[in-house]
Each structure stands twice: as C-alpha cells, then as structure tokens.
Amino acid sequence: MNPVYEKLMRCYRSVREKIDFRPQVALVLGSGLGGFGEEIRVVQTLEYSEIEGFPVSTVPGHAGRFLFGYVGGVPVAAMQGRVHYYEGYSMDMVVLPVRLMKMMGAEILFLTNAAGGVNYDFCPGDLMLIKDQIASFVPSPLIGMNIEELGPRFCDMSEVYEKSLQRILRETSKDLHIPLQEGVYLQFSGPAYETPAEVRMARVLGADAVGMSTACEAVAANHMGMKICGISCITNKACGMSDQPLSHEEVQETADRIGAPFQKLVKESIIRMGKVLNGETADE
C-alpha cells in the first residue's frame, strides 16, 4: 500500500477506535477563531497526541485537538490548531488532518486563517472571502504516487472554492451586517514574513492576501472532491505597506479583536450550509 495512504488509514483507525462521530462540515480554526469552541455543542474532544501517527503543532500557543459536536444542528469536526509546512512536516502530513475529516464523513471543508493584506483597500481587522488561491510557491501535497482511493491523478481546479458556498458566506455577512472583502489568497512557505518585494510580486500576480497555510489543504480537499470555502482574517497590512515592522503579536492582537464577528459569521454560515446539505432551502 502507498505509505502516505497507509499512514492516513492508521490515523483513521486510531480515531475510529475512540469515536464514531460523522461530521458533515470540517472546520479548520485559524487565528481569530480560538474561541469558536464556545459555539459548538461539543460531544467529544480528541487531542491530536492521542491519535497514532498524527502531526502535532510546534507553534507556541497553538492548541492541538479536534472538537466533535454540533453547530446548530449541523455535525462538525473542528480543528483547534493546524500544522504548517514551515514546521518541517512534509506536505502529506500537513494535509493529513483534512483528509482524515473527509474520511470521517465531512462533505464541506471550511478553512480559516490569518493573513496579511496585499490589496491596498484592505485594513487590519477585515475579513476576506477566499474566491481563489495561488499555491504555486509551496509543493503540492499531491506530488508522489497518486492515491487512487482519494482522487484522480490530474484533478480539475477550476472551482476550488465552491460558488454556492461563496454565495452563502456573502449573504450571511450581509444579513449579519458583517463586512466581507473578497479576494485571492496566496500561500508562501513562511515562517519568515515576506519582504516588501515579495509582497509587490504577490500583488502583481493577482493576490489580495498572503499567508502560510490553507492553499495546500484546499488542494488536498479538492482532490478528494470536498466542497470548500474559506475566510481570511486580515490581521495586518503585508510587509512594506505600513511604517511598522510585522510581528506575531500584532497578528494575534488583531485576530483576537475581530474574533466575535468572525465567530458569528462562521457559525451562521455553517447553519445555513447544513440546511443546504440536508435538502432544505437556505432561507427556511
């Protein structure tokens, strides 16, 4: 068996020994959604360290656990903490958790992150609906022998972020009066922030926000046929666009400040997505 698939199956069996929960929505909680656990009626938590062979984050202050439970009536698996490529994990390990949540039953993947604003119209504290992405600066998680059990060798990427989910996010933000920018997310490897020249390059290439996660997870989820949506919390103007040097503290401070509306938007959107998944119309 393909060693990457073998590792994934080992994790899956390890999880299934502990829990038989079937999520419909998989949620990756980035900076700004640290408190989202309060919105979930949690039925079980699972520390990453309890899962055999599962990658554990090395970033200080990043929790590492799954929350399984309900948002409204929608069964969700939420990741509190993700691992990043810059931590030294191979790409197949970085995307393993997303693949695992799909194997558990999740049809929708809701990605969130903190990002630097490259678009001149964006301010720290803005939320951005991810419409598309540029993943060309990090290795693809699909490199290597294709795992046929997961998806095809050459997968289409014409609509990574599903239009119908984008519509739900847009409408929910309008109904809740939470402003939502829109744009293209570009993933760099990190861990250093970009130089001003790299930020200019990102802008020329069509990016509106830059970060160090998410796009690779979306590639793996798209390969498996998941419906994907994403929101970036713009925590800072990207390097070179303001007088101040960037710091992790600034990123965290902004993310914490925007936590409450971000949480509200994600919660209500998931409830509406659940209605669509379960065959009700979104406005019922």
The single residue of 26, 48, 79, 84 carrying the catalytic annotation is: 84
Binding to ligand HPA by CB under 6 A, coded x per residue (else -) over 139-178, reads ----------------------------------------
Asked, as a colleague might, if the bond just before 23 is cis with ω within 30 of 0, I would say no
**Residues 251, 129 contacting (CB under 8 angstroms):** no
Q: Is 232 a catalytic residue?
A: no
Q: Is 62 a catalytic residue?
A: yes
Residues 188-207 that bind ligand HPA (CB under 6 A): 193-194
Residues 57-116 that bind ligand HPA (CB under 6 A): 114-116
> Near ligand HPA by CB under 6 A, which window of 93-101, 103-111, 209-217, 268-276?
209-217
Smallest gap, in angstroms, from Cβ of residue 192 to ligand HPA?
A: 9
Which single residue brings its beta carbon nearest to ligand HPA? 116
Query: Which residue of 79, 226, 238, 265 would you call a contact of ligand HPA, by CB under 6 A?
Result: 238
Q: Give, in order, the Cα–Cα distances in Å from 41 to each of 75, 105, 154.
A: 9, 18, 39
3-state secondary structure of 83: coil
The rounded distance, in Å, linking the Cα atoms of 209 and 130 is 9
Q: Is 177 a catalytic residue?
A: no
Q: Is 77 a catalytic residue?
A: no
Q: Is 193 a catalytic residue?
A: no
Q: Is 31 a catalytic residue?
A: yes
> Which of 91, 23, 82, 75 is closest to 57 using CA atoms?
82
Does the footprint of ligand HPA cover residue 221 (CB under 6 A)? no
Query: Which residue of 210, 215, 220, 266 would you call a contact of ligand HPA, by CB under 6 A?
Result: 210
> Near ligand HPA by CB under 6 A, which window of 51-59, 85-93, 231-239, 261-269?
231-239
Nearest to ligand HPA of 105, 240 (CB atom) = 240
- Count other Cβ atoms within 10 Å, centred on residue 206: 12
Q: Is 114 a catalytic residue?
A: yes
Smallest gap, in angstroms, from Cβ of residue 210 to ligand HPA?
A: 5
Residue type, 95: V
Does the footprint of ligand HPA cover residue 251 (CB under 6 A)? yes
Q: Is 212 a catalytic residue?
A: yes
Nearest to ligand HPA of 23, 116 (CB atom) = 116
Q: Is 284 a catalytic residue?
A: no
Q: Is 87 a catalytic residue?
A: yes
Strand bridging mode 181-187 / 209-211 = parallel
The single residue of 212, 215, 218, 220 carrying the catalytic annotation is: 212
The rounded distance, in Å, linking the Cα atoms of 265 and 36 is 11
Residue 115 DSSP class: E
Tokens read off for 98:
């997303």
The single residue of 39, 77, 85, 87 carrying the catalytic annotation is: 87
- Give the interface with ligand HPA as residue ranges (CB under 6 A): 114-116, 193-194, 210-212, 235-236, 238, 246, 251
Active site residues: 31, 62, 84, 86-87, 114, 212-213, 236, 248
